[in-house]
Structure 1
Amino acid sequence: MNLLCASTALTLAAATAQAATLNITDVTATWSSWTDGSDVTSADNAGTAELRWGTTSEAQSGYDFDPLAPSGPHAQDTDFKIGTFTHHNFPIGAGSGISSATLDVSFTFYLGADPGTSYTRTSQFVFDHFETPNNDDPCANTLPNNDPSNTGGCSDRVTPTTNPATSETFTITDGTGSTFTYVFDVEGFDIGDSFWTLEGQSNTADLLARFTYEENIAPVPLPAAAWFLIAGLGGLAAAGRRRRS
């Protein structure tokens, strides 16, 4: 799934010199869209973004996102949590599950010791959802039905995919006019490529971010061919100067 907003440059003026911390003051989230599913509802339950689906006389399956705010101060070069995603897997009618859902997360932060100057960033995530038939054998995860990984029926799979371009740079200026550039990364959910949730149970993952001083990021080395090209261009330029002289 792709986070739909591209990397942008964000200039933050009038912040403290070389802000070594970041404070999150507010996080909000909403399930903005989904595909397929029956009896689908989206709601804000005391700040938790809830999505529910499925034809059933008991509990519906669903997603939650619990924002974490306020939080901080967060030190640079250290992962910190923005919120927690939860998948609730319950038995529902065949064909009544969703196939994907979109989550919008906005958070407001300030740098260093300057709470009077705050900034807001919004990220979007899409979750691909595989609502498996509970009676399949083997199950979609290739293991037998009622294997420990398929207790009570076949487990369901959730695959979060985030935008590969989630970094933003921002520059702060101190009282002497010196500027310092930081890189802010929303790193995505800490579940790898996907996870499987047992029937009748729940599974969670945290949304992580970090920020770092730009000079601490190692440069990407040029391939050897590029160095040969640069050397060749330099040689051509020198030869041209000799001919002109």
Structure 2
Amino acid sequence: MNKYASAIFAVSTLVLGAAASQAATLTVTNVSGVWSDWTGGVKQSSTMNGDVAELRWGTPGYTKQQSGYDFAPVPTSGPHQKDQTFTLGTFTHNNFVIDKGISSATLDVTFSFYLGTDSSNIYTRSSQFVFEHWETPNVPESGICVDGKESKPNGVQVGCEDRVTPITNPRKSESFTITEDGVTRTYLFDVTGFNIGENFWTVENQKNSAQLQARFTYEENVPLPPVPLPAAGWLLLAGVAGMGAVARRRRKA
């Protein structure tokens, strides 16, 4: 190889290496949400306030405000490097004094993104989240709320906390094979769900929030769920164990 060919080869390798390095990023181009369903409550309404999806319910009390859920998306973000956790949107529970609350609500979230610098190739995915809602009595006869706190500490009416529990909070991963610095790796766009935990309690006349989070990472960095053993497998194990027991009894005899 002459020196000119060597120079061209070196430049080509540098360009390909740079392009491969740029590939290992993820850019979010759009996130949107809508409250598609709910049960229970009175005077419910689902509207959009700009990009924010709002769900309201109940006849307002002295605060003259309905209780409700909001989902505020983060429409664009990135580019995100691997192993970086980022937020796709924020869920908020607004708790006010009302007469009757919902029992559940469903949120549909759609997100679009591209990899590296190729903004012409847009991927679009969606997830559905279901929240169980417990609108607790604000003035229980015992004076003690369902969470064990007083509804009138020091004689001041503060009401009782309401509980929000994620019934469906799916983890959704999408895999992509990318060549980076000459090495082919599988990456995941891993939507980890709302960081609400098992549930949260929202104080009366207050609000509580949780973030819908995701990350761009290597496939091996995401633990796989345990694979259940089929019924036939359990029967096989039981049979093997039984044969072992018979063999031990024979040896003892």
Q: TM-score range by the shorter chain?
A: 0.7 to 0.9
List aligned pairs for 1:181-192, cutoff 5 A.
181-192=186-197
Q: Which residue of 2 aligns with 1:155?
A: 161
Superposition RMSD in Å: 2.8
Q: Which residue of 2 aligns with 1:97?
A: 101
Q: Please state if 1:131 is matched with 2:135.
A: yes
Q: Which residue of 2 aligns with 1:171?
A: 177
Shift of 1:151: 6.8
C-alpha contact 1:41 1:52 (8 A) present in aligned 2: yes
Paired residue type of 2:166: P
Moved over 3 A (4+): 161-165, 215-222
Q: Distance in 1 between matches of 2:71 and 2:157?
A: 25
Shift of 1:51: 0.2
C-alpha contact 2:43 2:58 (8 A) present in aligned 1: yes
User: Which has the larger share of helix?
Assistant: 2
Residue identity (%): 57
Moved more, 127-136 or 187-196: 187-196
C-alpha contact 2:130 2:169 (8 A) present in aligned 1: no
Consecutive unaligned residues in structure 1, runs of 5 or more: 1-15, 223-228, 230-245
Of 208, 214, 221, the match for 1:203: 208
Shift of 1:17: 3.1
Specify whether residues 140 and 181 from structure 1 end up closer, same or farther in structure 2 by C-alpha distance, changes over 3 A only. Answer: same
Q: What is the TM-score when the length of structure 1 is the normalising length?
A: 0.75
Specify whether residues 217 and 32 from structure 1 end up closer, same or farther in structure 2 by C-alpha distance, changes over 3 A only. Answer: closer
Paired residue type of 2:83: D
C-alpha contact 1:166 1:186 (8 A) present in aligned 2: yes
C-alpha contact 1:23 1:71 (8 A) present in aligned 2: yes
Deviations 1:52-100 (A, max 9, x none): 000226110000000002111111112100001111101011xx21000
Of 91, 94, 97, the match for 1:88: 94
C-alpha contact 1:151 1:198 (8 A) present in aligned 2: no
Q: Which residue of 2 aligns with 1:28?
A: 32
Of 46, 50, 57, the match for 2:50: 46
C-alpha contact 1:162 1:188 (8 A) present in aligned 2: no
Structure with bigger RCO (C-alpha 8 Å, 6+ apart): 1
Moved more, 206-215 or 118-127: 206-215
Shift of 1:215: 4.2
Determine which structure has more spread, i.e. the larger CA radius of gyration: 2
Q: Distance in 2 between matches of 1:197 and 1:151?
A: 16
Q: Distance in 1 between matches of 2:136 and 2:109?
A: 28
C-alpha contact 1:106 1:123 (8 A) present in aligned 2: yes
